[in-house]
Amino acid sequence: MGNKNTTLFQNLNDLPATLSSAQYVPHKHELLICGSVTNRSCYSYHTLKNEYKFICEYPSHVQLVGYCVVKLADNKDSNQITLLSFGGDKNLRHTLVMKYVSIWSNISNKSNELNNYNQWIPFTDNHNHPIIIGKDQHSYYHGMRAVIGGKIIICYL
Protein backbone atom coordinates (compact mmCIF):
# COMPACT_ATOMS: atom_id res chain seq x y z
CA MET A 1 0.00 0.00 0.00
CA GLY A 2 1.19 3.45 -0.86
CA ASN A 3 1.57 6.22 1.66
CA LYS A 4 -1.49 8.47 1.40
CA ASN A 5 -0.99 12.10 2.29
CA THR A 6 -4.41 13.04 3.61
CA THR A 7 -5.57 15.62 6.10
CA LEU A 8 -8.63 15.76 8.30
CA PHE A 9 -8.73 19.56 8.30
CA GLN A 10 -9.53 22.09 5.63
CA ASN A 11 -7.91 25.51 5.63
CA LEU A 12 -10.45 28.27 5.08
CA ASN A 13 -9.93 31.66 3.51
CA ASP A 14 -9.64 34.52 5.98
CA LEU A 15 -12.92 35.91 7.24
CA PRO A 16 -13.94 39.36 6.01
CA ALA A 17 -14.13 40.50 9.66
CA THR A 18 -12.55 39.67 13.01
CA LEU A 19 -14.73 37.37 15.10
CA SER A 20 -14.16 36.19 18.66
CA SER A 21 -16.16 33.33 20.26
CA ALA A 22 -18.41 33.02 17.21
CA GLN A 23 -21.27 30.55 16.94
CA TYR A 24 -21.49 28.45 13.79
CA VAL A 25 -23.91 25.95 12.26
CA PRO A 26 -23.35 23.57 9.32
CA HIS A 27 -25.94 23.52 6.51
CA LYS A 28 -25.35 21.47 3.35
CA HIS A 29 -22.16 22.93 1.78
CA GLU A 30 -22.24 25.99 4.03
CA LEU A 31 -20.88 26.92 7.41
CA LEU A 32 -23.11 29.64 8.88
CA ILE A 33 -21.15 31.93 11.18
CA CYS A 34 -23.58 33.75 13.47
CA GLY A 35 -22.05 36.82 15.07
CA SER A 36 -19.46 36.98 17.82
CA VAL A 37 -18.52 38.90 20.93
CA THR A 38 -16.69 41.45 18.77
CA ASN A 39 -18.93 41.59 15.68
CA ARG A 40 -22.71 41.36 15.02
CA SER A 41 -22.28 40.20 11.42
CA CYS A 42 -23.40 36.79 10.18
CA TYR A 43 -21.72 35.11 7.21
CA SER A 44 -22.08 32.01 5.10
CA TYR A 45 -18.91 30.17 4.11
CA HIS A 46 -19.41 27.93 1.06
CA THR A 47 -17.12 24.93 1.49
CA LEU A 48 -16.96 24.08 -2.23
CA LYS A 49 -16.48 27.64 -3.50
CA ASN A 50 -14.16 28.58 -0.61
CA GLU A 51 -15.90 31.97 -0.32
CA TYR A 52 -17.80 34.01 2.28
CA LYS A 53 -21.01 36.00 1.84
CA PHE A 54 -22.61 38.40 4.30
CA ILE A 55 -26.07 37.28 5.53
CA CYS A 56 -27.23 39.88 8.05
CA GLU A 57 -26.43 41.49 11.41
CA TYR A 58 -27.86 40.87 14.84
CA PRO A 59 -30.10 43.69 16.15
CA SER A 60 -28.15 46.47 17.89
CA HIS A 61 -29.74 45.84 21.33
CA VAL A 62 -28.55 42.20 21.45
CA GLN A 63 -25.40 41.40 23.44
CA LEU A 64 -23.50 38.45 21.99
CA VAL A 65 -21.78 37.32 25.17
CA GLY A 66 -22.63 33.83 26.38
CA TYR A 67 -25.05 32.95 23.59
CA CYS A 68 -25.72 29.82 21.54
CA VAL A 69 -27.08 29.17 18.04
CA VAL A 70 -28.75 25.88 17.06
CA LYS A 71 -30.29 24.61 13.85
CA LEU A 72 -33.80 23.23 14.29
CA ALA A 73 -34.77 20.18 12.24
CA ASP A 74 -37.25 21.00 9.49
CA ASN A 75 -37.84 18.40 6.79
CA LYS A 76 -40.75 20.25 5.14
CA ASP A 77 -38.59 22.40 2.87
CA SER A 78 -34.99 21.39 2.27
CA ASN A 79 -34.18 24.88 0.94
CA GLN A 80 -35.00 26.47 4.31
CA ILE A 81 -33.73 25.90 7.84
CA THR A 82 -34.62 27.58 11.11
CA LEU A 83 -31.94 28.91 13.44
CA LEU A 84 -32.49 29.75 17.11
CA SER A 85 -30.14 32.12 18.95
CA PHE A 86 -30.45 32.45 22.72
CA GLY A 87 -28.49 33.60 25.75
CA GLY A 88 -26.65 36.86 26.14
CA ASP A 89 -25.58 38.90 29.13
CA LYS A 90 -27.03 37.84 32.49
CA ASN A 91 -29.18 40.97 32.66
CA LEU A 92 -30.13 41.19 29.00
CA ARG A 93 -31.21 37.86 27.52
CA HIS A 94 -32.28 37.36 23.93
CA THR A 95 -34.09 34.61 22.05
CA LEU A 96 -34.16 35.19 18.31
CA VAL A 97 -35.16 33.09 15.33
CA MET A 98 -34.05 33.19 11.71
CA LYS A 99 -35.63 31.45 8.74
CA TYR A 100 -32.56 30.91 6.57
CA VAL A 101 -32.54 30.31 2.82
CA SER A 102 -29.09 29.88 1.32
CA ILE A 103 -27.71 33.14 0.03
CA TRP A 104 -25.90 31.04 -2.58
CA SER A 105 -29.16 29.85 -4.15
CA ASN A 106 -31.26 31.44 -6.87
CA ILE A 107 -34.17 31.60 -4.42
CA SER A 108 -32.39 34.13 -2.23
CA ASN A 109 -32.21 36.60 -5.12
CA LYS A 110 -36.01 36.97 -5.23
CA SER A 111 -36.48 39.61 -2.53
CA ASN A 112 -40.31 39.70 -2.71
CA GLU A 113 -40.57 36.05 -1.65
CA LEU A 114 -38.07 36.43 1.21
CA ASN A 115 -39.45 39.27 3.33
CA ASN A 116 -38.86 37.57 6.69
CA TYR A 117 -35.91 35.39 5.72
CA ASN A 118 -32.21 35.70 6.55
CA GLN A 119 -32.73 38.12 9.43
CA TRP A 120 -32.89 37.72 13.19
CA ILE A 121 -36.35 38.42 14.63
CA PRO A 122 -37.71 38.00 18.18
CA PHE A 123 -38.93 34.50 19.03
CA THR A 124 -42.57 34.89 20.10
CA ASP A 125 -45.56 32.80 21.10
CA ASN A 126 -48.92 32.70 19.30
CA HIS A 127 -49.94 35.98 21.01
CA ASN A 128 -46.75 37.75 19.87
CA HIS A 129 -45.27 37.73 23.40
CA PRO A 130 -41.49 37.25 23.48
CA ILE A 131 -40.20 33.84 24.58
CA ILE A 132 -36.96 34.10 26.54
CA ILE A 133 -34.87 30.99 27.17
CA GLY A 134 -32.99 31.18 30.48
CA LYS A 135 -34.60 34.06 32.37
CA ASP A 136 -32.79 32.96 35.54
CA GLN A 137 -29.97 35.45 36.25
CA HIS A 138 -27.81 32.61 37.59
CA SER A 139 -27.77 30.93 34.16
CA TYR A 140 -24.75 31.90 32.14
CA TYR A 141 -24.11 30.42 28.70
CA HIS A 142 -20.56 31.61 27.99
CA GLY A 143 -18.73 28.88 26.06
CA MET A 144 -21.89 26.83 25.59
CA ARG A 145 -22.29 24.84 22.37
CA ALA A 146 -25.27 22.74 21.36
CA VAL A 147 -25.95 20.13 18.70
CA ILE A 148 -29.34 18.74 17.78
CA GLY A 149 -28.44 15.60 15.83
CA GLY A 150 -26.03 15.65 12.88
CA LYS A 151 -22.30 16.22 12.75
CA ILE A 152 -20.14 18.03 15.25
CA ILE A 153 -17.80 20.48 13.57
CA ILE A 154 -14.84 21.95 15.42
CA CYS A 155 -14.05 25.41 14.19
CA TYR A 156 -11.47 27.83 15.54
CA LEU A 157 -12.08 31.42 14.45
pLDDT digits (tens, 9 = 90+) for 95-107: 999 999 999 987 6
Element (H, E) at 72: strand 67-72
Name all contacts of 107-116 with Cβ < 8 Å and 24+ positions apart. Answer: 107/79
Name the nearest CA neighbour of 95 among 57, 124, 61, 128.
124
pLDDT for residue 29 is more than 60? yes
Cα–Cα distance, 83 to 98 (Å, whole number) = 5
pLDDT over threshold 60, residue 139:
no
Residues 102 and 27 sit within 8 Å (Cβ to Cβ): yes
Q: Which of the two residues, 19 and 41, has the higher pLDDT score?
A: 41
Q: Determine the Cα–Cα distance for residues 123 and 97; give it in Å rounded to an integer.
A: 5
Rounded to two decimals, the pTM is 0.77
Distance from C-alpha of 157 to C-alpha of 21, rounded to nearest angstrom: 7
